[in-house]
Structure 1
Amino acid sequence: MTVILLGLFALDILIVVTQCAPSDCYRHPDILSMHTCLANYFAKKDTLTANEWQQMLPTATERSQYNQLISGILSAKDASVCSQNLLSQYPEIADDIEVRYYQKSYCIIAESKLHPTKNIFRRSWGYVIIADDTWSKLNVYHSAPHFQSDLHTDIEAVMIFNMTRSRAVAINGASRFAVQDGVKSPCITEYYAADASHDNRTMFFVANSAMLAHQGASCPHEHCAFIQWHGMAAGSCPDANVFVSTGISNSHNTYSLPGLPANKIVAAFNQLGMGVAKTPKESICNLVAAENVFGRLINGVTTANVCKTAAASSGVTGKFVHIEQEPSVRAEFEKWTQIINSAFPL
């Protein structure tokens, strides 16, 4: 048994995690230490061969059943649905995942088995937390695709989901650099094989797609959005510490809408004096997420075409919020909570 001490940036945040079986992660008394325990088993940089990664990707049937599982839990009105018994309806994925009711507020869908020769989850699918209807206050969905490489954005997504009492959060289970030798993705070939932002074959994409399908067209800007948390190196956007986009280029007129979630988040951030946040309307930064596969899906491209087709201007909804952040602001959980609550007031 190993005790791991993790410090988060220069702040006084210390996470103490006892490394043991994945099932023991749910014994942790708070969502931060529970997440950190599960993340110990995520696939880190250069962990996998190309063949191993290919074997980990979900089959069509597994994708379908995972989608149905998430949709069913999101639609349930009774928390008792969140139990291991539910998996009898989904035999193709039942051997790889478990369903846990945690802290009387969350339903967690996560992997249950480890790889036979590596201390990582067998499929590197990541996990999903869905909040009870009675606990959740916001129809806001969070996700973090870049474990490890976008340092601590996975922790940030989980914490802000929890502190804002949002509807759900999806955390990817592999570094974008998890596959050795720089193997690229067949989806969008300039990106790495395990880059969940740019590949529609991952279970992370399935999870987000299920959330989008559940929410459907009823996602008004006043109180609904899909926020994806990213980290950029300092200076990546020379004129901004935070860059918020909707997955479309700088010139799109959607950025002129005052009620756009991206605009509301930027305005709330700038009021707190943490630094400078901008949208593509005010910045020439090129991190607009135009090739983000989930962003393309939200903006009207079909699942089958997100690898090869950019979103058309007419399909942009504003529901997708892509937040790039410099390291200095990623651990400001309380301030980000204020920002999200200000952007989506009850």
Structure 2
Amino acid sequence: MRFGRSILLLVGASVLTAPRATGAAELTCSSSATLEALVACIRDQMPGRSSGVFLPPSPTEMEAWRSVVSAMMYGGCDFVLPPSLWSFARVRSFRDADNGRPYCLLLETADWNGDGVVDRGFGAFIVDPFAERELSHQVSHPIADAGTEIQAITVFKKTRSRTFLLAGAHRHAIAGGRWFHGHSMSSDVAHNTATMFHSAHAAITSFYGWKPWWAVQWHGMAENTCESVDVYLSHGVDAAPVAGDKILELRNNLLAHQPTWRIGVPGSRGCALNATSNVQGRLLNDGASTGWVPGGSPSGWVPGGSPSGWSFGRPAAAHARRFVHIEQHPWVRDADRWIAAVLATWP
């Protein structure tokens, strides 16, 4: 019933949509035959470092983006986008040439100035309607964390996970400081709730409610960062994981297949990249700390929310440890070396 209402609202709203201007450029990646080629194409046409290109979405656009993501989660793909998205985005089906499986794709496509780069930096979202694992593989720093976008889409594909979420611009596409929240303008989606990336994450969170699922966010660290480890796993908090924790299970499964890897977790020393300021992690670990509640604002924040209200480092409740944050050095960003461990951790 909920899915039906979502589609009716989307289609009904779109009846009033004016057609896109004649001759407008569209970057649809229509020639991509596989998910890996598709994601590489999307990455190559997104705003790069210091490009100055990132347009913060309006509340109306974030509401519409979230509604589309929700409809896709419920199995929808053959519908027209709401008016606020029609001029710059598309939703369509995609069939991977390697495995023959169908997917649903939402992506930004508009390139009004014809420079080969999308105009806003909103990113993409992919759903496998016949998934076997309730995992959301997320890449918040494409280009900057080199290779993570291809690594994550391959793991998504070969583990038959539910969703793949990709940011739409280099984290430093526009100038700005590190700390963002609410209305702030920043292309670093891991630290800014007012983005399409976070809106999609909030929609996924609402879809599952308290049902078991995990958001796996793939990051990359520099070679001279945390030199005593190759991989560092956390939940977005600085508390040591407890027995039975998924990141301990993932670490053990990785070591079973990659025994030479040095894998750290909070409490093991050697690294402090605990992602305590990651807003997607904060939403899952402690929704109130980002001003978000289920059924709340579409962007994941409410007026009045501020960084000063966050409780960085506060251990999350055991049932809320659905956020898995992966930091890794360049030489371990090979999807094929992760797949067996992911399959074993989430059978």
**Under a length normalisation based on structure 2, what TM-score does the superposition of the two structures give?**
0.81
Identify which of 99, 107, 112 aligns with 1:110.
Answer: 107
**Helix, strand or coil at the partner of 2:70:** helix
Give the superposition deviation at 1:283.
2.5
1:301-346 per-position Cα deviation (integer Å, ceiling 9, x unaligned): 323347441354354621000000000100x21121111101111x
Higher relative contact order (CA 8 A, sep 6+): 2
Letter in 2 for 1:328: W
What 5-or-longer segments of structure 1 have no aligned partner?
Answer: 1-19
1:176 to 152, 171, 177: 171
- Which range moved further: 114-123 or 37-46? 114-123
Distance 1:75 1:192, change over 3 A: closer
Give the deviation of 1:169 after TM superposition. 0.6
Aligned to 1:151: 146
Going from structure 1 to structure 2, the CA distance change for 1:46 and 1:314 (only over 3 Å counts) comes to closer
Equivalent residues of 1:26, 1:102 under 8 A apart: no
Q: 1:22 corresponds to which residue?
A: 27
**Aligned-pair distance for 1:235?**
3.7
Q: Would you identify which runs of 4 or more consecutive aligned residues in structure 1 move more than 6 Å?
A: none
Q: What CA deviation, in whole Å up to 9, does each residue of 1:150-189 have, x standing for no partner?
A: 111111111111111100010111111111xx42256169
5 Å matches for 1:28-39?
A: 28-39=32-43
Query: Equivalents in 1 of 2:225, 2:72: separation in Å?
Result: 39
* 1:144 counterpart letter in structure 2: V
| 2:194 matched residue in structure 1 | 201
Cα deviation for residue 192 of structure 1 reads 9.3
Within 2, Cα distance between the matches of 1:274 and 1:158? 25
Per-residue CA distance 1:184-231 (angstroms, 9 max, x = gap): 256169x99321111111111111111111111001xxxx31100000
Aligned partners of 2:90 and 2:181: how far apart in 1? 31
Distance 1:92 1:148 in 2: 28
For the residue of structure 1 that corresponds to 2:30, the secondary structure is helix
Say whether the 8 Å CA contact 1:269–1:339 is kept in structure 2.
yes
Partner Cα distance (1:307, 1:157) in 2: 29
**What is the CA–CA distance in structure 1 between the aligned matches of 2:181 and 2:77, rounded to whole Å?**
36
- Alpha-carbon distance in structure 1 between the residues aligned to 2:160 and 2:207: 18
SS in 2 for 1:99: strand
The one-letter code matched in structure 2 to 1:199 is N
Asked if 1 retains the 8 angstrom alpha-carbon contact of 2:151 and 2:335, the reply is yes
Q: Match for 1:123: what amino acid?
A: R
Matching residue within 293, 313, 318 for 2:321:
318
Q: Quick one: structure 1 residues 35 and 292, their matched pair in 2 at CA, closer, same or farther if it must change by over 3 Å?
A: same
Counterpart mapping for 1:20-169 below 5 A: 22-23=27-28, 25-48=29-52, 53=54, 56-76=55-75, 81-83=76-78, 85-87=79-81, 90-103=82-95, 104-116=101-113, 118-132=115-129, 134=130, 136-169=131-164
Question: Which amino acid is 1:338 matched to?
Answer: A
Kindly tell me the number of residue pairs found equivalent between the two proteins: 299
Q: Is the 8 A contact 2:128 2:162 kept in 1?
A: yes
Q: Tell me, yes or no, if structure 1 residue 257 matches structure 2 residue 243.
A: yes
In 2, distance between residues paired with 1:314 and 1:159? 30
Partner of residue 279 from structure 2, selected from 250, 268, 293 = 293
What amino acid is aligned across from residue 64 of structure 1 in structure 2? E
Secondary structure at 1:243 match in 2: strand
> Normalization by structure 1: what TM-score?
0.81
Q: 1:307 to 1:94 in 2, by over 3 A?
A: farther
Alignment partner of 1:187 out of 164, 180, 184: 180
- Classify the secondary structure of the residue corresponding to 1:70: helix
Q: Which runs of 5+ in 2 are unaligned?
A: 1-24, 96-100, 293-299
The 5 A counterparts of 1:265-304 are: 265-272=250-257, 273-301=259-287, 302=292, 303-304=300-301
Tell whether the 8 Å contact from 1:225 to 1:261 is kept in structure 2 after alignment. no
